[in-house]
Amino acid sequence: MAVLRKCLLSLLVVIASVCAGASPVLRCELRGSENKPIQFGKDLPGWMHFILFSEQDGLKVFQEWNSWGYSARSFLARDGYRIFRRPGAWDKNAPTTHTLNRGEFLITDINLVDGSWSVTPKLPVRPFLRLSVTAEFQVAQDADSKAAGVWTGKIRSATTEVMLDKSAIEVLNKAR
């Protein structure tokens, strides 16, 4: 009876995770460099790590350099802001993938002030702004994702604090 109860509890946890938008085979996290606070600006470190963790062998995700993976990562802020990749242009493009096995992870370094990111609506310009952000990884189910055999769906990380200085705010606010 105890084994059955434990199995049912595990199943309920998986069902609750799926209902909450989580994936039982893939999860994501945001971390600062060397576990330091995440800060962006003229004289601030300017990097965070977007980490995908696989709970399944042979899980494929599109690589970030191609058009299929380029826009898969974005960020939601508590106050209704969305940080996303600006449209890109490719002189080379192919649906290449990373393959992750159970327990493996993929780290993508994110620099929100490298000019490839934008925010909507525009952020208020002030000396410093603290945002509570949630990372989002989303790949649509379509003919390309099906042909490549990649993971599809949407997952979100826990909320993380990010500090932006005025120069970072201005870069993100630039017109697309």
Residue with tokens 């990380």: 157
* 7 pLDDT higher than 70: no
Q: Give the other-Cβ count within 10 Å of 49's Cβ.
A: 16
User: 0.85 cut: is pTM over it?
Assistant: no
9 falls within a domain: no
* Span 57-88, pLDDT tens digits: 999 999 999 999 999 999 999 889 999 999 98
Q: Give the other-Cβ count within 10 Å of 158's Cβ.
A: 10
pLDDT score at 12: 34
Bond preceding residue 45 cis, omega within 30 of 0: no
36 falls within a domain: yes
Measured between alpha carbons, how far is 104 from 55 in angstroms, rounded to an integer?
Answer: 8
**Beta pairing, strands 38-40 & 153-165:** parallel
pLDDT score at 43: 81
91 falls within a domain: yes
144 falls within a domain: yes
Q: Is 96 helix (H, G, I), strand (E, B) or coil?
A: coil
Q: Do the beta carbons of residue 109 and residue 103 sit within 8 Å? A: no
8 falls within a domain: no
101: closest CA among 52, 146, 137, 62?
52
If one counts the domains in the chain, the total is 1
Q: Is 61 helix (H, G, I), strand (E, B) or coil?
A: strand
Tell me the two tokens of residue 157. 């990380």
* 2 pLDDT higher than 70: no
CA distances from 86 to 1, 120, 168 (A): 54, 11, 15
* Span 89-145, pLDDT tens digits: 889 999 999 999 999 999 999 999 999 999 999 999 999 999 999 999 999 999 999
**Beta pairing, strands 59-62 & 97-100:** antiparallel
16 falls within a domain: no
- Identify the CATH number of the domain in which residue 45 sits: 2.60.40
Domain extent for 122: 24-173
- Strands (DSSP E) contained in 19-173 are 26-32, 38-40, 48-54, 59-62, 73-77, 82-85, 97-100, 105-110, 117-120, 128-139, 153-165
75 falls within a domain: yes
pLDDT score at 13: 36
Q: Which residue has the higher pLDDT, 155 or 32?
A: 155
18 falls within a domain: no
Sequence letter at residue 58: G
